[in-house]
Chain A
Amino acid sequence: MITLKEGNLRIPRWNRKVFAVAGGLTNYKKFCPEMKLEEQVMVAFRQMLENNDLKLSPVEIKGLVNFLACGEFADHFQDQLLCEAKVTDYLGLDPIYDIGIKTGGATGGSTVLTAAMAVASGYADVALAVGWERMSEVDTRTGNYYIANAACKDFETRLSRIYAAYYAPMAVRFAWAYNLSEETRAKVAVKNHLYAYYSPYSQQPGKYTIQDVLNSPMSTYPLRFLECCAMTDGAACMLLCDEETAYKLTDKPCELFIAGGSHTLRVADRRDMEIPLLPHETADMYKGLRKKEGQRWPGFESFAASRFAAYFAYRMAGITNPLEELDLVELHDAFTISDIQTYGDIGLRPYGQEPDYIESGDAYFDGKCPSNLSGGLIGTMHAVGATGIFQGIECLWQIQGKYDKFHGDPKIWESFGKRKPEDWKSLQVPNAKQALWVSHAGVGSHVTVGILKKAF
């Protein structure tokens, strides 16, 4: 039994405030032969330095950076050890120290967390969180096998060699335990492919119907291809600073809080445990939760790592009721089911009522707390090492009121060889002040929850 003690539950505390000021993305696609890895990172780096209305020149800003956190999921994909050195050199940041960060699908979030810790501790005034992945180095099935190495190699990997097969049992169990329909799952896919339609960065935009999703080929039952993210080539970077530098660089800084949680690699090993409660929850809410035979928490239905990360992040940021206080969220929708499971973990709904977040309309653009307006992983990208940075940047731009600037400018579409759709619409959340993003690995082995707060 995992019993959490006082020390385990100590709320993380920055020694000084940390701010996010700028971000940069790339054109996310399945296969990007026209650029090498470091050349793609340069695209994101230039966008971050040149297009975020920063008050110093790119060269001056580079002169302020004194730490890099570099996210990369798998050496298997890059087939190049110490990519960090190549990237730092290519960006012209030598000999600033760069640390490689690796926590599976949560790599991007962990990269931001590491850069934030550097600023919070005083190691750096300005830190760069940069991440990438080149998954096209191998064909898709080989890529599936590589990713399945993030299941237990002795007891799980050989049983499918594809990650959808480790989420599918969770989908089956969740549907049985909490009454989730295939249609609700399909709605998540429809929503996120649609939001990707408005993003120039997106890899899998599309106007699909629920029926299209349900008719798409099966990956592992019950998960269909349109419910799954794809392999991506791409990069992202985010600039973090201390308070003084933040206001020197931008008129629109956002204060950053971020924390993480980890849990067993194998879902099977997750013994029943007490649910760490979020600020708005009470133990009474969960008295009837384990009513069906064999039920346990987090079991196959939920993620203790996400809950633990949210437990910390909400208290760091002073959030007492997430659904009421957050203006938007970016969740890790690698699969429709992982997205839905997370609604309970981060308290958008009580455990057992997760599907209602979609069914109520709260999750949509004009809803109470829209999710994945970026298109998420299903619609826009999962260049793994970059993903948790991309999600944070989309939150940052929303709070800065720059959704249109970064998604609606025809020049951005054209620079990626795309045309802005005639029926493009703005997904700018009016007057967004607080946003949250979840960066998630494995079947919930590592999760970070980041929160950005308007500080202008």
Chain B
Amino acid sequence: MASKGKITKYTGKPAKVLQSEPAIVIEWPRSLAHRHTYGKLSPFFKGLTEGRLLATRCANPECGEHRLWLPPRADCPDCNQPMTWEELPQPVIGTVHTYARVEYAGAGIELTTPYFQVDVELPGVCTIFKGYLQYGTLEIGMKVKACFRTEDPTNTILDIYWIPVVNDADARF
């Protein structure tokens, strides 16, 4: 027989009733932290905090794709062989492939709205790289320059952002 000292107690917080008609609706709070690895792409994210943009290239001479990948991949999707890292020369200047102006963002957004999201073509890169613009406005075909959040980094993709290149001085490193 269980002793009185071992009574099972309720230690939770009663669920808040949000409405009771036409049916009972309760609040069910969730607060979770996932552990997420950057895996073999860790050099890329470390590079951002150091002001460097790292891409990957397939090292297999038999493979048909020898352009750079950005976002990088550790393994080539065409021949499935490991790729090697390569840093893009500074300043990193790209061409606006397309863009959007985010006005209404989802929960947890870490940027002040409205802001421009930008998809950038980079020389020698087979993919198009998505980021955000720190200031200014965009047009397709315009030049933009990569900048890095090396001080107080977020340790996320938000550590790289773009600024418009309107004259030669802007293009300097």
Binding site for B on A (CB under 8 A): 1, 3, 33-35, 79, 137, 139, 141-145, 147-148, 152-156, 158-162, 164-165, 168-173, 176, 217-222, 266-269, 271, 293-294, 300
Contacts and interface: CB of A to CB of B under 8 A. Distances in A.
B22 interface: yes
Contact of A145 (B102, B108, B132, B158): B108
A369 to B, nearest CB: 29
B129 to A, nearest CB: 6
A300 B105 contact: no
Given A169-B100, A176-B140, A221-B101, A161 B119 contact: no
9 contacts: A137-B28, A158-B157, A159-B131, A164-B104, A165-B117, A168-B100, A221-B100, A221-B114, A266-B71
9 closest cross-chain pairs (CB), A and B: A161-B106, A168-B100, A144-B106, A221-B101, A173-B98, A145-B106, A162-B106, A268-B128, A169-B98
Nearest to A173: B98
B120 to A, nearest CB: 9
Interface in B114-158: 114, 117, 119, 121, 126-132, 140-141, 156-158
B109 interface: yes
Contacts of A153: 36
Give the contact-size bracket for chain B.
Answer: 35 or more
B65 A268 contact: no
Interface string B32-50: 0000101001000000000
Contacts, number: 132
The DSSP consensus for interface residues of chain A is mixed
Contacts of A300: 97-98, 119, 128
B119 A162 contact: no
B166 to A, nearest CB: 20
A98 B107 CA distance: 34
Given A79-B28, A220-B103, A172 B98 contact: yes
Given A144-B107, A145-B107, A155-B130, A172 B100 contact: yes
Nearest to A151: B130
A269 B71 contact: yes
Contacts of A222: 100
Nearest to B140: A176
Contact of B99 (A33, A144, A172, A217): A172
B78 interface: yes
A165 B98 CA distance: 12
A226 to B, nearest CB: 13
A220 B106 contact: no
Contacts of B106: 141-145, 147-148, 160-162
B64 A1 contact: yes
A268 B71 CA distance: 9
A39 to B, nearest CB: 10
A87 to B, nearest CB: 19
A161 B108 contact: yes
B19 interface: yes
B103 A221 contact: yes
A79 B130 CA distance: 31
A137 B65 CA distance: 45
Nearest to B101: A221
Given A169-B117, A173-B97, A268-B71, A161 B109 contact: yes
A173 B41 contact: no
Given A1-B64, A145-B106, A172-B99, 12 more contacts: A79-B28, A142-B106, A145-B107, A154-B157, A162-B104, A168-B117, A169-B100, A219-B103, A220-B117, A266-B71, A271-B65, A300-B98
Contact of A159 (B30, B97, B103, B157): B157
A169 B71 CA distance: 17
A137 B99 CA distance: 32
Contacts of A169: 98-100, 117, 119
B25 A33 contact: yes
Given A159-B131, A294-B121, A220 B102 contact: yes
**Which of A34, A160, A220 has the most B CB atoms < 10 Å from its CB?**
A160
A271 B127 contact: yes
B112 to A, nearest CB: 13
B62 interface: no
B110 interface: yes
Nearest to A152: B71
**Which of B105, B117, B127, B156 has the most A CB atoms < 10 Å from its CB?**
B105
B121 A220 contact: no
B23 A33 contact: yes
B97 A218 contact: no
A268 B130 contact: yes
B100 A162 contact: no
A268 B103 contact: no
A158 B106 CA distance: 9
Contact of B102 (A143, A165, A171): A165
B56 interface: no
**Which of B30, B99, B109 has the most A CB atoms < 10 Å from its CB?**
B109
